[in-house]
């Protein structure tokens, strides 16, 4: 176990379930294409992965939303797909199709990937965290992250984004051993990746299981919850004081499984989860982060204001609460809407 002097920022305290007298806020995908300064830097950098693997550029992009908005945290600029990329399952980003990965199908192909010493190959990310922590003021937390094994495996097996996830769902039924082999390998290196991010200076970490919602109930525990739970256990054995946020997107009532894990501090809820339900069924056990519909941030105006106020009125009840979106900021979101939203949350 490593003793850390983790910054007791309002965000960190709220994630640990404390009421801090105000509502801390950050936004998933707060750095990205809706910001003109991001688009400018991105057009000069060649590829998206060049940005992720250059510690100075990654730090600069991480700081961009902090310089514009009154946010409580920065999230390190990177991607969940740097892990398969560094293991040898190469990733390209197409402007039309999103990520494209060299597809993995068989146990033989999985065994050819190199999951050993992944943290060595991902060292630019840890460098970027070190540099960002120095640049960031003490009141602001720095969040590290990774994808969950199920979500990363889905990109590897499908070869990119999918509409129906048929390839991986079929693999789970017909060749469960092959999928388990991949999930196990991912589990080990993802725990190391989070630990390395914390060692470099991350004050909290989030695990994105963006596609948890496509799992049938019979396989949810085994393929989404269990691997995440074991990753959290490993991270907590090293850094018990660092809060862990889990985002099992579209998991519905299965969010309760995560709330019962003693290794999980906070749950990020998507916009389909009723706040009242989360307040009643989850918030006694974990802090809640969420859950404005990103489309309301895109459209702005009165509907956004009313819904943000409603969310705060239900979830800001002397228990752990962090304002966020139900998913990432959409590309065409006007910057002024983000300014309005941050101001509004400050007034709660
Ligand atoms: O500001 C932040 O939130 C930090 C950076 C961040 C990115 N991706 C940058 C990014 C984070 C936390 C992620 C997580 C991520 N990446 C997830 C989980 C969250 C979610 O959205 O569900 C997933 C599934 C990915 C995989 C991924 N990366 C996809 C599907 C895409 C293409 C879709 C898109 O929005 O373009 C990416 C590319 C990506 N990741 C971009 C950014 C800023 C856009 C790349 C570009 O500049 O062209």
CA distance 312 to 325: 12
CA 81 – ligand 1 centroid, Å: 9
Q: Evaluate whether 312 touches 23 at the Cβ level (below 8 Å).
A: yes
Q: Is 161 in the pocket of ligand 1 (CB under 6 A)?
A: yes
pTM equals 0.97
Residue of 28, 29, 89, 148 best suited for mutating to test ligand 1, as the one with most atoms within 8 Å of CB:
29
Mean pLDDT of the chain: 96
Written as six digits, the tokens of 250 are: 């579209």
Q: Given CA atoms 297, 55, 248, 285 in this order, what sign does their dihedral have? A: negative
Residue identifier of the C-alpha nearest atom 48 of ligand 1: 48
Cβ–Cβ under 8 Å, residues 193 and 119? yes
Which residues span the domain enclosing 53?
Answer: 3-346
For 236, how many CA atoms within 13 A lie in the half-sphere containing its CB?
Answer: 14
Cα of 79 vs centre of ligand 1, distance in Å, is: 6
| Residue 37 to residues 42, 114, 118, 188, 221, Cα–Cα distance (Å) | 8, 36, 31, 36, 41
Instruction: Check if 156 has its Cβ closer than 6 Å to any atom of ligand 1.
Output: no
Which pLDDT value is given to residue 19? 87
Q: Which residues contact 338 (CB under 8 A, 6 or more apart)?
A: 27, 30, 34, 65, 68, 69, 297, 329
Measured at the alpha carbon of residue 103, what is the angle toward residues 164 and 181, in degrees to the nearest 5? 90
Among the listed residues 29, 105, 230, 254, the single catalytic one is 29
Say whether 33 is catalytic: yes
Ligand 1 atom 45: the closest Cα is on which residue? 48
Of all protein residues, the one whose alpha carbon is nearest to atom 34 of ligand 1 is 98
- The per-residue pLDDT for 3 is 55
Q: What is the DSSP letter of 318?
A: S
In the reported structure, the alpha carbon of residue 144 is separated from the centroid of ligand 1 by a whole-number distance in angstroms of 14
Q: Say what the pLDDT of residue 95 is.
A: 86
Number of domains in the chain: 1
Q: How far, in Å, CA of 208 to CA of 211, rounded?
A: 9
What CATH number should be reported for the domain holding residue 317?
3.20.20.210
Active site residue 42: yes
Contact between 203 and 242 under an 8 Å Cβ cutoff? The reply is yes
H or E stretch including 324?
Answer: strand 321-325
User: Pick the catalytic residue: 42, 133, 169, 249?
Assistant: 42
Residue spans of the chain under pLDDT 50: none
The answer to whether the CB of 328 falls within 8 A of the CB of 65 is no
92 lines ligand 1 (CB under 6 A): no
The predicted pLDDT at position 231 comes to 98
pLDDT at 179: 98
| 319 CA to centre of ligand 1 in angstroms | 30
Residue 58 Cβ < 6 Å to ligand 1: no
Mutational test site, ligand 1, from 27, 28, 32, 327, max ligand atoms within 8 Å of CB: 32
Tell me phi and psi for residue 154, to 5 degrees. -65, -40
CA dihedral in degrees (38, 39, 41, 47; nearest 10)? 110
Residue the block writes with tokens 């309002």: 10
Which pLDDT value is given to residue 152?
A: 98
Ligand 1 atom 31: residue of nearest CA = 98
By most ligand atoms within 8 Å of CB, the mutation choice from 79, 129, 204 for ligand 1 is: 79
């Amino acid at each position: 176990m490593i003793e850390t002097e983790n910054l007791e920022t309002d965000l960190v305290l709220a994630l640990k379930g404390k009421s801090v007298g105000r509502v801390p806020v950050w936004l998933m995908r707060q750095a990205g294409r809706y910001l003109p300064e991001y688009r400018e830097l991105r057009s000069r950098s060649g590829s998206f992965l060049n940005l992720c693997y250059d510690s100075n550029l990654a730090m600069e992009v991480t700081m961009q939303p902090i310089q514009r908005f009154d946010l409580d945290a920065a999230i390190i600029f990177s991607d969940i797909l740097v892990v398969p990329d560094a293991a040898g399952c190469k990733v390209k980003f197409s402007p039309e199709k999103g990520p494209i990965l060299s597809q993995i199908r068989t146990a033989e192909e999985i065994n050819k990937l190199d999951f050993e010493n992944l943290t060595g190959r991902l060292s630019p990310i840890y460098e970027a965290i070190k540099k960002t922590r120095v640049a960031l003021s003490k009141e602001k937390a720095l969040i590290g992250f990774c994808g969950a094994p199920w979500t990363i495996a889905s990109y590897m097996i499908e070869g990119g984004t999918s509409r129906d996830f048929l390839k991986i769902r079929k693999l789970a039924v017909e060749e469960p051993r092959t999928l388990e082999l991949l999930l196990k390998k991912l589990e080990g290196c993802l725990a190391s990746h989070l630990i390395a991010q914390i060692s470099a200076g991350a004050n909290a970490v989030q695990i994105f299981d963006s596609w948890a919602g496509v799992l049938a109930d019979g396989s949810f525990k085994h393929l989404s919850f269990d691997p995440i739970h074991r990753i959290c256990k490993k991270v907590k054995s090293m850094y018990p004081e660092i809060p862990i946020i889990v985002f099992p997107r579209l998991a519905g009532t299965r969010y309760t499984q995560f709330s019962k894990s003693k290794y999980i501090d906070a749950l990020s809820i998507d916009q389909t989860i009723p706040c009242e339900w989360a307040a009643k069924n989850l918030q006694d056990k974990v802090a809640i982060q969420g859950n404005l519909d990103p489309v309301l941030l895109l459209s702005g105006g009165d509907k956004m204001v009313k819904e943000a106020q409603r969310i705060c009125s239900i979830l800001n009840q002397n228990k752990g609460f962090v304002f966020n979106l139900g998913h990432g900021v959409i590309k065409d979101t006007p910057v002024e809407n983000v300014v309005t939203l941050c101001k509004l949350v400050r007034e709660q």
